[in-house]
Amino acid sequence: MPPRVAVKNLKKGGGLFEGVKSNIEALIVGIKYFVDPKRMTLLYPKEYPEHRPGYRGFIVLKKDVCISCAACARVCPSAAMKMVRVTEADPREPGKARQKQYPVINYQRCIFCGYCVDVCPVEALYHLPFHDITYESLADMFLTLEAFQKEPLRPVEKEGSPVVYEFDESAGLVKREKKGGA
Amino acid sequence: MMVLETLLYIIAYPPLWQVIVIGLLGSFLTAMIAIWFERKAAARVQRRIGPYWASPRLGGFLNLVADMIRYILQEVIIPRTVDKVPFVLAPVAAFVVSIMPIAFVPLSPYEKFWPVPDMQYSLLIALAITTVPPLLAVIGGWASNNKFAVIGSLRESYVITAYELIFVIAVLSAAPTFLTLNVLHIVEAQSPFMWLAFLNPIAFLAAFLAVLMSTSAFPFEIPESEHEVVAGPYTEYSGILYALNMGGAYVRRFIYAVLISLVFLGGWAPYVPPSEGPLFAIIVPSIIVAVKALIVVLAMSFLRAVYGRYRLDQALDSAWRLVLPLALIGLGWGIALGLIM
């Protein structure tokens, strides 16, 4: 036998007076927000959110540190990361070539979960605090090994100004201009 | 100077000025301003911005112009299953008939500026014509041969039956107060600040609520509620025919608001038009009336941000149990005022 569910005693709607009062209260709240709106909408190219350093944005590879363990490619839940085999000069034996595997990323698939950064045993991957994925073609979203080592530029940094979302006691989450400029 | 004067007289030619400029263009402009204000006000209250990028300086007003152009250029699809003649004629006729009540009310105290020669029963005639367009919406829904359209038409007829009665009773409460059915006498009796909205606020409130409900203003769009019946009576319509249907509701609201501003808000009240010259005798007072009507429409639009949509049963319940008694009390108050005054 399932446990008894306590039936909530809902208060029945009050009389005419109560109805009129609550309607007027709703109107007052509406007018208050109409006169003094605390807007949250981000006007994207003119404003961009300034995230804190721990934010999981674009991922960048430090190629010299990478040990080719492929843990990042295996852990990637959306199969955005792949290992590519490259032939390069061997630093330990000058004059000889060696083959090594490095990760590359496909931003068409990446969900910015950051598992690859977490799993990397030598910290060869790191995050940037933004991910404005704007590319001219879909093919550009497959990063080559060279592109994966460069920190991508933020397209709105020139025309926009940074904003932060802060918690306000009375209004909840509000949008504020970031102090001290970009 | 002569040319200007003649031009003024041509513009102030009563059918042209009152029906085309104030009626058609005024309601058109009012519809656009009302839709824009509705979106902006709701956005402000909900901490958004609303239309913006189309013209940042104008607060996104050109967005509405773009919408209008899109409606005009869109392909009109007439399904094979519909009853074609009423399907096409209903929105057009509804739009035209919606504007017509303005031809039967005076916007100037002088007879030479009236579209019709006699204003003896103007209040009754205008009220009678305002009851026609909903029937055409119902016809259009029925001709659509679509279950959503039929359900929407049914809802429309329920709501109209309830709220139009309330509007008629509330507005007719002006008649026993001033002992006349002539809108001109009603307006002149209210001059300069003895407005009926102050004398008889209950009837004013009832009329306001009735207009809000019967033109299915946005939070109370019970006949065409998107979540329940796709677009109500207008489900099968597209392009310019849909725009006529949707704009028709705003036009009706504007015409109702003109009636309210004449009967309850004193018409051109603080201003006393001089008898000579078309500019001060007709153009200025009619613009005053239109601006008052616009303010009423905007006040209705603002309520979108505050209220949620009523269910059909809630709307009918509040109509028959709350607002109809309110309108009857207003009528009684009007009779009492008439006895005192």
pLDDT tens-digit profile of B249-295? 888 888 899 899 988 888 887 887 777 777 787 888 888 888 999 99
pLDDT at A181 over 50: no
Best residue of B49, B209, B212, B306 to probe chain A, by most A CBs closer than 10 Å: B306
Task: Verify whether the Cβ–Cβ distance A34 to B44 is below 8 Å.
Answer: yes
Amino acid sitting at position B267: G
Best residue of B37, B47, B212 to probe chain A, by most A CBs closer than 10 Å: B47
* Any A CB within 8 A of B295 CB: no
Say which range, A49-63, B154-168, B226-240, has the weakest mean pLDDT.
Answer: B226-240
Q: Among B222, B217, B219, which residue's Cα sits nearest to residue B253?
A: B217
pTM recorded for the entire structure: 0.80
Burial of B329 (0-12, 13-18, 19+ CB in 10 A): middle
DSSP-derived letter for residue A3 is P
Amino acid sitting at position B191: S
Is the distance from CB of B87 to CB of B78 less than 8 angstroms?
yes
Strand, helix or coil for residue A162: strand
* Any A CB within 8 A of B307 CB: yes
Q: Find the residue in B nearest to A39 (Cα).
A: B47
CB pairs under 8 A between A and B: 34
Q: Which residues of B touch A25 (CB under 8 A)?
A: none
Task: Verify whether the Cβ–Cβ distance A29 to B307 is below 8 Å.
Answer: no
Strand, helix or coil for residue B156: helix
Which residues are bridge partners to A142 per DSSP? A106
CA of B252 to nearest chain A CA: how many angstroms apart?
25
Peptide bond into B192 cis (omega under 30): yes
* Any A CB within 8 A of B52 CB: yes
Task: Verify whether the Cβ–Cβ distance B45 to A37 is below 8 Å.
Answer: yes
Option in A16, A30, A39 nearest B49 (CB): A39
Task: Verify whether the Cβ–Cβ distance A38 to B47 is below 8 Å.
Answer: yes
Amino acid sitting at position A116: C
Annotate B191-227 with b (16+ C-beta within 10 A) or e (fewer): beeebbbebbebbbbbbbbbbbbbbbbbbbbbbbbee
- How much is the pLDDT for A5? 72
ipTM field? 0.76
- Helix-strand-coil split of chain B, %, nearest 5: 70, 0, 30
CA of A112 to nearest chain B CA: how many angstroms apart?
27
Q: Which residues of A touch B307 (CB under 8 A)?
A: 26
Report how far residue B195's alpha carbon sits from residue B259's, in angstroms, rounded to the nearest whole number.
Answer: 14
Q: Which residues of A touch B49 (CB under 8 A)?
A: 39, 41, 43
Task: Verify whether the Cβ–Cβ distance A34 to B305 is below 8 Å.
Answer: yes
Q: Using pLDDT thresholds of 50, 70 and 90, give the confidence band for residue A176.
A: confident
Question: If you compute the radius of gyration of chain A from its CA atoms, what whole number of angstroms results?
Answer: 26
Q: What is the pLDDT of residues B314-336, one digit of tens each?
A: 888 888 888 899 999 999 999 99
Please provide the DSSP assignment of A41-87 as one string: ---TTTEEE---TT----EEE-TTT-----HHHHH-TT--EEEEEEE
Q: Which residues of A touch B45 (CB under 8 A)?
A: 30, 33-34, 37
SS3 for B52-104 is CCCCHHHCCCHHHHHHHHHHHHCCCCCCCCCCHHHHHHHHHHHHHHHHHHHHH
Report how far residue B239's alpha carbon sits from residue B192's, in angstroms, rounded to the nearest whole number.
Answer: 45
Best residue of A16, A27, A47, A176 to probe chain B, by most B CBs closer than 10 Å: A27
Task: Verify whether the Cβ–Cβ distance B41 to A34 is below 8 Å.
Answer: yes
- How much is the pLDDT for A13? 62
Report how far residue B231's alpha carbon sits from residue B237's, in angstroms, rounded to the nearest whole number.
Answer: 9
- How much is the pLDDT for A80? 92
Alpha carbon A51 to its chain centroid, in Å, reads 9
Task: Verify whether the Cβ–Cβ distance B45 to A27 is below 8 Å.
Answer: no
Q: What is the pLDDT of residues A90-128, one digit of tens each?
A: 888 888 888 899 999 999 999 999 999 999 999 999 998
